Structure 1
Amino acid sequence: MKTPFPTPAVAASTSGEGYVFDNDNVHADEHHRCLAASLDPITTARLVATGVTDGWHCLEVGAGGGSIASWLAERVAPTGQVLATDVNPVHIPAAPGLRVQRHDVVRDPLPQEAFDLVLSRLVLRHLAERHAALAAMMRALRPGGWLQIDEFDIDYGPVLLAPSRAAGELYERFLAAKARLFADAGADGAWGRRAAAAMREAGLVDVDPVPYVVPWHAGSPGVHLLIHLTHQLRDQLVAAGMTDAELAEVRQVMRHPEFRASSCVIYSVQGRRPA
């Protein structure tokens, strides 16, 4: 029988230095919406494969807009519960069976051996202490519990077709500037392809990395996300070498009906804590 859902001894924290995105920014809601539209189908399909169901206790670290935490709360109802944490959890909506808590996975403790499933998406790539955070999430699992880490590898993501050669080159410059600003903030843009090895080194078993590449065109959720980032990260992109005129032009390139590109590689990696 499951033990009662734990009350984590976590401290309030507002850290997150070096993290590019700010949940208090006016662009945050749209950012979360674009992420959910582009990534939730991948994340939820992988979660289903764990067998998550009624009665499970789940944790999402860095829950962002809360779309996955809300999905999990419905999945584990009526007897399971979900804890959604974030350094600034203002965008996570209330839902039955869902508890929301301000928490910094680098600085604040997690309850140990408390969860059947722990999920983190697009969080560890931003943290210099990513290996320590990964170890903390593993310790939060019950023996036999599942950890799922979904991360990008932004080293790949070429333009495949553009209205002109110059348009394609501009898009590639935009991607390079975006990569520089993340690197300057301390993020590891290739963390996705390293996550599986890190999980195995942390002691997880049955580690299963699955890479996804999605075709993009004008109107794709991932392209909407990139267009939104040209507004949300305007100052950082300019500091990384783009001009406002180039940002306006690259938006038009991504909206062009002939535009075709590949997404970056999206890695969804699962592993279990040994039983």
Structure 2
Amino acid sequence: MRESQGPAPGYAFDNDSVHSDELHRCLTDAYDPMTFARLAETGVTTGWRCLDVGSGSGSVARWLAERVAPTGEVMATDVKPHHLQEGPCLTAVEHDVVSDPLPEAAFDLVVARLVLQHLPERLAVLAKLVRALKPGGWLHIEEFDASYEPPLLTPDEESARLYAAFLDAKCAVLRAGGGDPHWARHAPAAMRAAGLVDIDPRPRIELRAAGSPGLLMQLNHTYHLRDELLAAGLTEAQLADVRAVMRDPSFCAASSVVYSVHGRRPRADEADEADDGLRPLPQDAR
């Protein structure tokens, strides 16, 4: 395995970290069922050509490959794609969606799960993803809005304050890299401003209880982002204490709001509708 070079610019979670496999497992267990159900709504089927941007462990790409087989194709991309395993109808590509080109009008479905909020260039990347769609093709985006994820039951008031301090520090880490941990709420408006139609946002909140995939993911972040969290002002003692809080059987918290949004690139016969979508970027799409 090559020596780790740290997180990719604009992305806080390093795929070369010793903690990345566990993070991928948490994401898969917590969110794949929702993602797969939403992707099925697009009608993805045999023969489709799909793009999965920032594919991570590749669980979404593998699901898509099963749906498009035997005649379709899935291209899974990542800046560090060594977690991706190629297979029938599935190709893994090393690709930086910010700086590397994509073929235009090439895909029936483009998926970007938990990618755009990390990128300072998110709106330019969104425009690139829209151009990569065939007319009539679907773009599917999923992002967290971390402005709402309060503790609900804690062992004591100090534990609640400590958990909130951890969340604040994590948001500061994401912002320091150019990310916007609240951007998910702006995704539907940004997709409309980029010219998509039939936009369908679905917000979702879950319970993060001890041992649940969502809370295990938060626990993983205390290790995965340890150095960055310390630089943001937390101490080693606080990290140890907040880990103990999250392992307490009595603890539970609301998840961040997960926005699952898809929209469609208009076909040529929908020119008027497309013109309505190509408007100046509204303030709520920043």
Which TM-score tier does this pair reach, normalised by the shorter chain? over 0.9
Q: Write out aligned runs for 1:233-272 (5 A).
A: 233-272=225-264
**Paired position in structure 1 for 2:192:** 200
Residues 147-183 of structure 1 deviation map (CA, whole Å, 9 limit, x = unaligned): 0010110011000010111111111111111111111
Count, aligned residues: 262
AA matched with 1:128: P
Q: Could you give the per-residue CA deviations for residues 130-161 of structure 1, whole angstroms, max 9, x where no partner exists? A: 11111111111111110001011001100001
**Alignment partner of 2:117 out of 125, 138, 144:** 125
The counterpart of 2:40, out of the listed 48, 66, 70, is 48
In structure 2, how many angstroms separate the alpha carbons of the residues matched to 1:136 and 1:186?
A: 19
Does the aligned pair in 2 maintain the 1:183–1:189 contact within 8 Å? yes
SS at match of 2:211: coil
1:25 is displaced (CA, Å) by 1.6
The residue aligned with 2:217 is 225
Tell whether 2:36 aligns with 1:36.
no
Code of the aligned partner of 2:78: D
Gaps of 5+ in 2: 1-5, 268-286
Q: Distance in 1 between matches of 2:109 and 2:135?
A: 11
Please say if residues 19 and 126 of structure 1, whose CA atoms lie closer than 8 Å, have aligned partners that are also in contact.
yes
Give the corresponding residue for 1:167: 159
Whether the 8 Å contact between 1:15 and 1:104 is mirrored in structure 2 is no
Q: Does 1:93 align with 2:85?
A: yes
User: Does the residue aligned with 1:156 lie in a helix, a strand or coil?
Assistant: coil
- In the alignment, is residue 106 of structure 1 matched against residue 106 of structure 2? no
Determine if the alignment matches structure 1 residue 189 to structure 2 residue 181: yes
Distance 1:47 1:70, change over 3 A: same
Residue identity in the other structure for 2:266: P
Residues 7 and 14, structure 2, Cα contact 8 Å, conserved in 1 = no
When normalised by structure 1's length, the TM-score is 0.93
User: Displacement of 1:15 after TM fit?
Assistant: 9.3
Distance of 1:128 and 1:246 partners within structure 2: 30
Q: Pairwise mapping of residues 11-22 of structure 1 onto structure 2 (< 5 A)?
A: 16-22=8-14
CA distance in 2 between partners of 1:167 and 1:59 (Å): 42
Q: What SS is found at the alignment partner of 1:90? A: helix
Inter-partner Cα distance in structure 1 for 2:116 and 2:154? 33
Q: Is the 8 A contact 2:10 2:120 kept in 1?
A: no
2:174 counterpart SS class: helix
Poorly superposed stretches of 4+, deviation over 3 Å: none
CA contact (8 A) 2:7 2:13 kept: no
The aligned amino acid for 2:25 is R
Do the aligned partners of 1:157 and 1:262 also contact (CA within 8 Å) in 2? yes
C-alpha contact (below 8 Å) 1:15/1:87 kept by paired residues: no
Task: Identify the residue that residue 270 of structure 2 maps to in structure 1.
Answer: none
In the alignment, is the contact (CA less than 8 A) between 2:209 and 2:252 conserved in 1?
Answer: yes
Q: Counterpart of 1:146 in 2: which secondary structure? A: strand
Alignment of 1:51-66 (within 5 A): 51-66=43-58
**2:135 pairs with 1:143:** yes
Larger helix share, 1 or 2:
2
RMSD over aligned Cα, in angstroms? 1.3
